[in-house]
Amino acid sequence: QVQLVESGGGLVQAGDSLRLSCTASGLIFSIYAMNWYRQAPGKQRELVATITSGGRPNYADSVKGRFTISRDNAKNTVYLQMNSLKAEDTAVYYCNLQQSRTIDYWGQGTQVTVSS
């Protein structure tokens, strides 16, 4: 049973920081790229950040320079450090692992609310 468990969301003010965590179990975590998505009210799901199995990150333009994705394979955990948060960052954040073209695993989601 593959499971992704997220934590770290909360209510903060604009300019503050949060760190999201996603811990995986039930698979060989270290060989997979990991992704963070978010979905804001009334909007489509958006890919926020990706990190390859080798640790190479990539970011959506909207968060570049503010967010940092990292991973600790010894802990089976991927992180999303979010700095300089803006109201438009408000969303439910999901971690994701794509095992194949047709198999995706998702965390339960963690709410991030940024007040302006």
Q: What is the pLDDT of residues 32-77, one digit of tens each?
A: 999 999 999 999 999 999 999 999 999 999 999 999 999 999 999 9
For 101, residues 6+ apart whose C-beta sits below 8 A from its C-beta are none
Q: Which band of pLDDT confidence, cut at 50, 70 and 90, is reported for residue 93? A: very high
| Amino acid in the structure at residue 27 | L
CA distances from 74 to 12, 13, 18, 24, 36 (A): 30, 32, 22, 11, 19
Q: Which band of pLDDT confidence, cut at 50, 70 and 90, is reported for residue 6? A: very high
Q: Which band of pLDDT confidence, cut at 50, 70 and 90, is reported for residue 113? A: very high
CB atoms within 10 A of CB 64: 11
| pLDDT for residue 51 | 97
92 neighbors 44 (Cβ within 8 angstroms)? no
